[in-house]
């Protein structure tokens, strides 16, 4: 090797891009602990961003599933009264004829059930009585309301047509009165002296916390039998179910128009569905996800500051080396790119490891459990873009400082 030939990469004035990247990797290997701790912040930030999006999407899916468990195709119609009039008029409630008219004239409605609420007291043994809510409903009520039968069975069309005195009680009532759902089936309760056989125990598909017509102590009986206890054909509420969720909105409009046309003009009927609730839930979940993503992005920015501090310390410790390289011909651009490449390498390692961790957790949950956690590829892309931006942004400052060092002053630095 000839005398005076510069062979060590650190002292070569001009380095190709590949050599600069190789030199950056060698620098990383020679200071593993320092650079690894710096990259750790990027790992945490990148993984957090992906996991935050995953958590947000999981929460959104859970909320939507809860709403759909109430009844994705559900439409509810209820008489709300009438506009005030000077002359008193009779009420104009819904009737079973309204239900039949909707079923005949709105093709998208596939099933329906009236709801007639009644109150009574039943004996529960030991001379004690319990206030209960009795709901007169059709056999289709189970399907319309997505009820879960925990024991026994729901009454069918034959029970309704034969006016069999059968009923189902809620799971909460079965446990309070009989100890368990299985023990409740077969027992008899009396309503106004008429014996009703408990043929099943039910509960709502999702907890509504008392915000529905079903209460803790509820007994559901056939609508045809409930007519024994009332002298009117009025029903409190009618539930309709459409063939698909896409039919809910147009069917709601059509049902309201039809009901209004069958009653007095001043009568008010509330016809609602869960579509608006679903939209609000989606918007709320999306907004929360974006807020959490911004928080995770702040973590990445903090990591970027850590990279900048480490690179500034690196520049300070290598001032003499920079001076030698610049003295023998290295340009400011090469000095800048050398230190910038080291910062980008730290970011690169950080986001690769962070993405692997961020995706490994939800994939592991999906593989090891029955939960189908949603996974967003977009979150990984965003993490890559943000991490790259952070690495370049915070790596530029120490790289620029290194490029602007005076070679003479650098050679004098101890």
Q: In whole angstroms, what separates CA 205 from the centre of its chain? A: 18
Residue 361 in any domain: the answer is: yes
Confirm whether pTM is higher than 0.75: no
Report the relative pairing of strands 74-82 and 267-273 from DSSP bridges: antiparallel
Rounded to an integer, what is the distance from CA 247 to the centroid of its chain?
24
- Closest by CA position to 345, among listed 14, 9, 12, 31: 31
pLDDT of residue 7: 45
Flag whether 55 is in a domain: yes
What's the rounded Cα separation, in Å, for the pair 97 and 202?
28
For residue 4, being part of any structural domain is answered with no
Q: Are residues 287 and 267 in the same domain?
A: no
CB 307 within 8 A of CB 391: yes
Residues 88 and 211 grouped into a single domain: yes
Return the pLDDT at 357: 87
CB 252 within 8 Å of CB 77: no
Same domain (yes/no): 100, 48: no
**Helix H segments across 232-331?**
248-261, 275-317, 319-327
Same domain, 88 and 221: yes
Domain membership of residue 222 as a residue range: 73-273
With contact defined as beta carbons under 8 Å apart, do 174 and 181 qualify?
yes
In a domain, 235, yes or no: yes
Specify whether 115 is located in the same domain as 229: yes
- Helix H segments across 131-211? 141-144, 157-161, 171-178, 181-184
Domain boundary residue, one of 254, 273, 292: 273
Which tokens hold the place of 41?
A: 């912040």
Expressed in angstroms, the distance from the first to the final Cα of the chain is 30
Claim to verify: residue 222 and residue 308 sit in the same structural domain:
no
- Same domain? For 226 and 289 the reply is no
What is the pLDDT tens value at each position of the chain, 414 positions in all? 444 444 444 444 444 555 555 665 666 666 667 677 777 877 887 888 888 888 888 887 887 777 777 766 889 999 887 554 444 456 788 999 999 999 999 999 999 999 999 988 887 666 677 889 999 999 999 988 888 999 999 999 999 999 999 999 999 999 888 888 888 899 888 888 889 999 999 988 776 655 678 888 899 999 999 998 887 888 989 999 998 888 888 999 999 999 999 988 888 889 988 877 777 777 888 888 788 778 777 777 777 777 777 777 766 666 666 677 667 666 777 777 777 777 777 778 888 888 888 888 888 888 888 777 777 777 778 777 877 777 777 777 777 776 666 665 655 555
Strand 237-242, strand 74-82: pairing:
antiparallel
Out of 251, 273, 295, a domain closes at 273
The answer to whether residue 6 sits within a structural domain is no
| Greatest alpha-carbon span in the chain | 117
Retrieve residue 353's tokens.
Answer: 């490891």
φ, ψ of residue 240 in degrees (nearest 5)? -120, 150
Residue 186 exposed, middle or buried by CB count within 10 Å (0-12, 13-18, 19+): exposed
Residue 185 and residue 266 share a domain: yes
How remote is the C-alpha of 323 from its chain's centroid? 57
Q: Identify whether residues 81 and 185 lie together within a single domain.
A: yes
Total number of domains constituting the chain: 2
In the numeric block, which tokens belong to residue 346?
């730290």
CA distances from 177 to 9, 88, 122, 185, 275 (A): 85, 45, 11, 12, 37
Residue finishing a domain among 221, 248, 273: 273
The reply to whether 189 falls in a domain is: yes
Shared-domain flag, residues 58 and 128: no
Residues 292 and 269 in one domain: no
Kindly state whether residue 250 falls inside one of the protein's structural domains.
yes
CB distance 71 to 213 below 8 Å: no
Of 27, 4, 92, the C-alpha closest to 313 is: 27
Spell out the residues 6+ positions from residue 219 whose beta carbon is closer than 8 angstroms to its own.
Answer: 122, 132, 133, 134, 135, 167, 168, 169, 173, 189, 191, 196
Instruction: With CA atoms as reference, report the closest residue to 292 among 39, 44, 41, 50.
Output: 50
Residue 116 and residue 232 in one domain: yes
Domain presence at residue 153: yes
The two tokens of residue 267 are 């009568």
């Amino acid at each position: 090797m000839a005398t005076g030939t510069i062979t060590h990469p650190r002292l070569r004035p001009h380095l190709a891009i590949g050599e600069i990247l190789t030199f950056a990797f060698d620098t990383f290997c020679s200071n593993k602990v320092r650079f690894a701790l710096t990259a750790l912040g990027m790992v945490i930030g990148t993984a957090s961003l992906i996991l935050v999006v995953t958590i947000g999407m999981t929460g959104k899916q859970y909320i939507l599933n809860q709403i759909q468990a109430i009844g994705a195709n559900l439409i509810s119609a209820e008489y709300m009264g009438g506009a005030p009039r000077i002359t008193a008029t009779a009420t104009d409630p819904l009737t079973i004829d309204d239900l039949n008219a909707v079923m005949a004239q709105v093709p998208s409605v596939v099933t329906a059930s009236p709801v007639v609420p009644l109150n009574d007291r039943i004996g529960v043994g030991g001379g004690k009585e319990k206030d209960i809510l009795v709901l007169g409903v059709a056999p289709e009520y189970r399907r319309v309301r997505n009820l879960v039968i925990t024991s026994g069975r729901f009454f069918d069309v034959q029970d309704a047509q034969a006016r069999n005195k059968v009923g189902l009680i809620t799971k909460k009532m079965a446990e309070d009165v009989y100890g368990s759902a299985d023990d409740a089936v077969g027992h008899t309760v009396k309503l106004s002296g008429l014996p009703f056989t408990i043929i099943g125990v039910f509960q709502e598909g999702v907890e509504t916390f008392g915000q529905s017509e079903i209460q803790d102590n509820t007994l559901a009986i056939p609508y045809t039998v409930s007519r024994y206890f009332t002298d009117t054909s009025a029903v409190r509420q009618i539930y309709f179910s459409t063939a698909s969720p896409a039919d809910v909105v147009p069917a709601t409009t059509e049902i309201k128009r039809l009901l209004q046309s069958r009653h007095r003009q001043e009568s008010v009927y509330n016809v609602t569905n869960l579509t608006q609730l679903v939209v609000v839930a989606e918007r709320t979940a999306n907004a929360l996800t974006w807020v959490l993503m911004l928080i995770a992005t702040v973590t990445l920015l903090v990591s970027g500051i850590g990279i900048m501090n480490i690179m500034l310390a690196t520049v300070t410790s290598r001032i003499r080396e920079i001076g030698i390289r610049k003295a023998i011909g290295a340009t400011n651009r090469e000095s800048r790119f050398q230190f910038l490449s080291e910062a980008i390498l730290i970011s690169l390692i950080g986001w690769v490891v962070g993405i692997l961790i961020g995706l490994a957790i939800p994939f592991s949950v999906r593989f090891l459990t029955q939960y189908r956690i949603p996974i967003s590829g977009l979150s990984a892309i965003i993490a890559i873009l943000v991490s790259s931006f952070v690495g370049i942004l915070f790596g530029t400052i120490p790289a620029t400082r290194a490029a602007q060092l005076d070679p003479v002053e650098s050679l004098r630095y101890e």
